[in-house]
């Protein structure tokens, strides 16, 4: 397994130099103000929080993305029984419309309100309350990360002093209610995960990503975050038996022209050997002249093996997502 360092006390070792590394635990507050000396650089800063809520029946995602020039918000609800996305909502709001916290340990994680849509996430100690209303989707949930495994945090130099910080958390117990149109679910024993990112990606950035939350065939909770490109190996991890394991960068093999074809999802060190069978897809397309994004996120079922410190565990039809993202920021 890849060795992880202890998280630094501060994001910056000096006003111009971040503490780079891959860390076993939460990041300190991510504030890049000392690096954003010009309005143009501040405009290039990207900041998002993406929440996953999973259960035996559902896979729910809600995200707020501060693009600098606009605020992107989306949510979807995937129903495992019907193997389809039963509701999806997406909107583009004015810049700085909502507030995003500087990390996942902040009291105010998200406070977004626009045109009748709301996303709020607030922390009080180990408890996070979530309230979201986007079109036909409504989410009211409570997360308790007091017994969750450590986060993985990463601070990287993407080249030419384009710094980026990200923190992933997983296997957080949650309970609450989800509404998608006329359908309702009440969950008492779900698992949640967070993706926090903030930094200065290159103007043209692309990556593939995979994330799952569920159980092995033996019934033990497991989660995975895997990426190829962008931040790369520094954020790749598996959570299992109360620990976070650093693994090598992802390797994704798929047919971009066939959305519902299987994805081969592996890590370069062989720890992850999985196949995702897509059931449905969440897509976002944005074209605003010099700015654009092509984003496909198939939702489906992972099967295969994960090997950690010589022990191999089996996964069978675990709900998760993969992603193909190409962006001109």
CB 275 within 8 A of CB 263: yes
Whether residue 183 is predicted with pLDDT greater than 90 in this model: the reply is yes
At 93-122, the pLDDT tens digits run 999 889 999 999 999 999 999 999 999 999
Q: Is residue 1 part of a domain?
A: no
At 225-240, the pLDDT tens digits run 999 999 999 999 999 9
Residue 26 has what DSSP assignment? P
Burial class (CB in 10 A: 0-12, 13-18, 19+), 3: exposed
pTM score of the predicted model: 0.96
Domain with 83, as residue range(s), is: 12-328
Mean pLDDT for all residues in the chain: 95
Least confident of 23-27, 65-69, 165-169, 274-278: 65-69
| Mean of pLDDT values over 4-27 | 96
**Long-range contacts, stretch 100-104, CB < 8 angstroms, 24+ apart:** 100/47, 100/48, 100/49, 100/64, 100/66, 101/49, 102/29, 102/30, 102/31, 102/198, 103/26, 103/27, 103/28, 103/29, 103/30, 103/167, 103/196, 104/26, 104/49, 104/151, 104/167, 104/169, 104/194, 104/196
- Residue 329, pLDDT score: 75
Q: Is residue 7 part of a domain?
A: no
Q: Is residue 5 part of a domain?
A: no
Per-residue pLDDT band for 203 (boundaries 50, 70, 90) equals: confident
Instruction: State in Å, rounded, how far the first CA of the chain is from the last one.
Output: 34
- Residue 34, pLDDT score: 78
- Residue 89, pLDDT score: 97
Domain count, the chain: 1
| Mean of pLDDT values over 271-288 | 90
- Residue 222, pLDDT score: 98
| Mean of pLDDT values over 40-55 | 88
Q: Is 227 helix (H, G, I), strand (E, B) or coil?
A: strand
CB 103 within 8 A of CB 29: yes
Q: The domain spanning residue 150 has which CATH number?
A: 2.40.370.10
Q: Is residue 156 part of a domain?
A: yes
Q: Is residue 2 part of a domain?
A: no
Q: Is residue 6 part of a domain?
A: no
């Amino acid at each position: 397994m890849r060795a992880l360092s202890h998280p630094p006390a501060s994001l910056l070792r000096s006003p111009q130099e971040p503490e780079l590394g891959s860390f076993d635990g939460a990041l300190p507050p991510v504030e890049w103000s000392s690096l954003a000396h010009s309005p143009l650089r501040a405009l290039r800063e990207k900041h998002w929080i993406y929440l996953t809520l999973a259960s035996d029946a559902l896979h729910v995602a809600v995200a707020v993305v501060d693009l600098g020039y606009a605020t992107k918000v989306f949510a979807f609800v995937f129903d495992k029984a019907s193997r389809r996305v039963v509701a999806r909502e997406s909107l583009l709001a004015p810049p700085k419309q909502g507030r995003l916290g500087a990390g996942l340990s902040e009291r105010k994680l998200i406070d977004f309100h626009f045109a009748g849509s709301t996303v709020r996430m607030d922390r009080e100690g180990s408890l996070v309350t979530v309230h979201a209303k986007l079109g036909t989707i409504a989410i009211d949930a409570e997360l308790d990360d007091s017994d969750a495994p450590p986060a993985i945090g990463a601070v990287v130099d993407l080249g030419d002093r384009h710094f980026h910080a990200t923190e992933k958390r997983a296997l957080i117990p949650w309970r609450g209610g989800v509404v998608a149109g006329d359908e309702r679910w009440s969950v008492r024993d779900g698992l949640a995960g967070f993706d926090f990112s903030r930094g200065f990606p290159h103007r043209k950035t692309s990556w593939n990503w995979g994330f799952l939350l569920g159980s092995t065939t033996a019934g033990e909770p497991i989660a995975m975050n895997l990426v190829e490109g962008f931040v790369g190996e520094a954020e790749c991890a598996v959570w299992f038996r109360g620990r976070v394991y650093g693994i090598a960068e992802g390797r994704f093999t798929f047919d971009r022209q066939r959305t519902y074809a299987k994805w081969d999802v592996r890590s370069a060190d062989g720890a992850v050997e999985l196949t995702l069978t897509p059931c449905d897809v969440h897509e976002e397309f944005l074209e605003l002249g010099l700015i654009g994004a092509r984003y496909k996120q198939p939702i489906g079922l992972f099967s295969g093996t994960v090997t950690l410190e010589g022990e191999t565990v089996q996964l069978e039809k675990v709900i998760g997502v993969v992603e193909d993202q190409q962006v001109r920021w």
